[in-house]
Amino acid sequence: MSVPTLRFNEVSKAFPGVKALSNVSFDVCSGEALALIGANGAGKSTLMNILGGNIQPDSGGVLIEGRNVAISSPQDSINNGIGFVHQEIALMLTMTIAENLFINSYQTTSIGLLARNLMEEQCKTVLESLNCHLSPRTQVKHLGSGDQQMVEIARALLMNPRILILDEPTSSLTGKEKSRLFDAVAVLKSKGVAIIYITHFLDEVFPVCDRAVVLRNGEYVGGDTIENLTYTDIVTLMIGESDTDVYYSRDQHSVSESLNLRVKNLSRSGVLKEIQMDLHKGEILGLWGLLGSGRTEFIRSLVGLDPNDTYDVEIREEKRMVPLYKRKASKYFGYITENRREDGMLLPSSILDNMSLANLRSYLSAGPFMNDEKIKVESKKYIKKLDIKISNVDQPAGTLSGGNQQKVIVGKWLQRAPMILLMDEPTRGLDVGAKRDMHQIINDFVQSGSSVLLVTSDIDELMNMSDRIAVIDRGSITGMYPQGVSKEDLMAAASGFAKGDKE
């Protein structure tokens, strides 16, 4: 039996309060594409960061061609023949293809000048090995996303890697561009490269990969050759069979026939495709989608942060629906961002300053001056209402726990009393108690007829909190489901499988 090109051997890694990986072991062989599958938080990124030398395992290790290797830095990873093509394109747009390929290893002549002809010839050779016929002198800014992805792969191949990691390589590609990528994977396999293909899109696994392994909650939970697996097998491994956690609680509330929001057409070329959606008074509408599906892009476009080609939206004004102009969107929406530390808070600033940010106009007293006493009274009211654990209101927000930081952000928007609260991963990184508190905040918010659009990667949370669930896949709404929908149907719609095509 041949020695595998790569083996993860009992790899474990823990971060404060989180067991990211627990005794993970599997092989990748020469000339095969292995699908690495798992929901968000399964441990895929941590495992790849270990392989890339960005973090070190607590125990276990990596074997290449049967020998233990120490990967203590990204350079060690490169020296061991490991190449990465990351999900986010990392190219210099104003530089040529050849310049991007050699950005870390420029070739020079005997007198120290750039050997452009040599670099361009080598660039052309590696591109043609991928059946990609681009001029090495073309500036990257003139390429489409598919060609840019090919340039990323070519840059990785320039190092003659034995192992290549493709991380969500199709998240921004069109159907034709995906076909080219799949052809490139076949070429690489024929050259003996061992490929780890990371994807949330299960419809891609079967035509591209030879085997699949699944991680869940930091553990290896199963895998097999593609011919021995069905879509249902993979979904079952991904989501498990455990009962819903006890901290998911949903208060009974009335959902009105009347609407707060109607999205008639929200479009953006290459990102969102004619999205249509209704949101009722008193409704918690879940939005389910996998990485790269367009969930966050939809919310950012709706609230006016990102550009659109079409913005045809209506909002409730008194008792009738009226057109919503994008510049006025902030009047009606509160937005809990996905990354609270980068987008949702001013970490060095005080709790008081953070809680007043969304409502500054109402705190003006005379001219441009703020009514500090009014700010303090209102903020303390919501600190008490949301049970935010603080030492004092002048405490820097960055010193709070994750759960209390999230409550500060929610309190900031509740002071505005928005009609609709857009919540993007509101419980990510929170402990059980903080999650329970956040669920109660959501339940309380809709009691008065306001609405919540809830985005979460936690499928149990989504199913238990939502009145209805909209599924988004690659920028399109692929289904609208009532309470009681199965996990299998939700995963199918989010992974590119129409109902009935799950086998």
- Residue 282: half-sphere exposure toward Cβ, Cα within 13 Å: 11
301's tokens: 């476009």
Q: How far apart are CA 160 and CA 163, in angstroms?
A: 9
Nearest Cα residue to 267 out of 312, 300, 299? 312
Instruction: For the chain, list residues with pLDDT below 50.
Output: 242-247, 499-503
Q: What is the pLDDT of residue 247?
A: 45
Whose tokens are 């959902």? That residue is 255
Per the CB < 8 A criterion, the answer to whether 286 and 468 are in contact is yes
Q: What is the pLDDT of residue 152?
A: 87
Each residue's pLDDT tens digit, 446-491:
998 999 999 987 788 898 899 999 999 889 999 999 988 888 888 8
pTM assigned to the model: 0.58
What domains can be seen in the chain, in order of their start residue?
A: 6-239 (3.40.50.300), 256-332+451-496 (3.40.50.300), 333-417 (3.40.50.300)
Q: How far apart are CA 482 and CA 468, in angstroms?
A: 5
Q: What is the pLDDT of residue 248?
A: 52
Q: How far apart are CA 84 and CA 161, in angstroms?
A: 9
Each residue's pLDDT tens digit, 190-223:
999 999 999 877 778 999 999 999 998 899 999 9
Q: What is the pLDDT of residue 502?
A: 38
Q: How far apart are CA 152 and CA 27, in angstroms?
A: 25
